Amino acid sequence: MSAAAFTVDVGNSSVGVAEWSAGQPLLRRTAEPEQAAALLHGDVAVVSVAPARLARLLAAAPAAARVRVLAEPPADLGESGLLRSAGSDRIAVALALRPGPAVAVDAGTAVTVELVDAQGRYRGGFIAPGPRAALAGLVAATAQLPALEVGPVPLAPGTGTRAALLAGTWGLALGGVDRLVEEALAALGAGASVRVVATGGWGEAWQRASRRSGVEYDPALVHRGIARWRDLA
Q: Is 89 a catalytic residue?
A: yes
Compute CA distances 164 → 151, 157, 167, 168, whole Å.
13, 6, 5, 6
pLDDT at 192: 62
User: Residue 115 domain-assigned?
Assistant: yes
Separation of alpha carbons 148 and 57, rounded Å: 29
Residue 170 lies in domain: 100-219
Tell me, what's the pLDDT at 191? 63
The pLDDT of residue 151 is 87
pLDDT score of 163 more than 60: yes
- Tell which phi-psi region holds residue 169, choosing left (phi > 0), alpha (psi between -120 and 50) or beta: alpha
What pLDDT score does 126 carry?
97
Is 25 part of any domain?
no
Mean of pLDDT values over 17-38 = 94
Give me the pLDDT at residue 160, please: 92
Q: What is the pLDDT of residue 150?
A: 87
Query: pLDDT exceeding 90 applies to what percent of the chain?
Result: 79
Q: How far apart are CA 165 and CA 158, in angstroms?
A: 8
Domain of residue 162, CATH code? 3.30.420.40
Closest CA to 62 of 90, 92, 40: 40
Question: pLDDT at position 22, please?
Answer: 87
pLDDT of 197 above 90: yes
Question: pLDDT tens digits for 53-96?
Answer: 999 999 999 999 999 999 999 999 999 889 888 999 999 999 99
Examine residue 40 and state whether it is found in any structural domain, yes or no.
Answer: no
The total number of structural domains in the chain stands at 1
Q: What is the mean pLDDT of the chain?
A: 93
Q: Is residue 199 part of a domain?
A: yes
Question: Which residues on neighbouring strands pair with residue 20, listed in sequence order?
Answer: 25
Residue 1: the pLDDT is 41
Strand 65-69: give its sheet, edge to edge. 24-30, 15-21, 6-10, 42-48, 65-69
Catalytic residue from among 89, 117, 218, 231? 89
Residue 226: pLDDT over 50: yes
Tell me what pLDDT residue 221 has. 97
Q: Residue 124 forms beta bridges with which residues?
A: none
Which H helix or E strand runs over 105?
Answer: strand 102-107
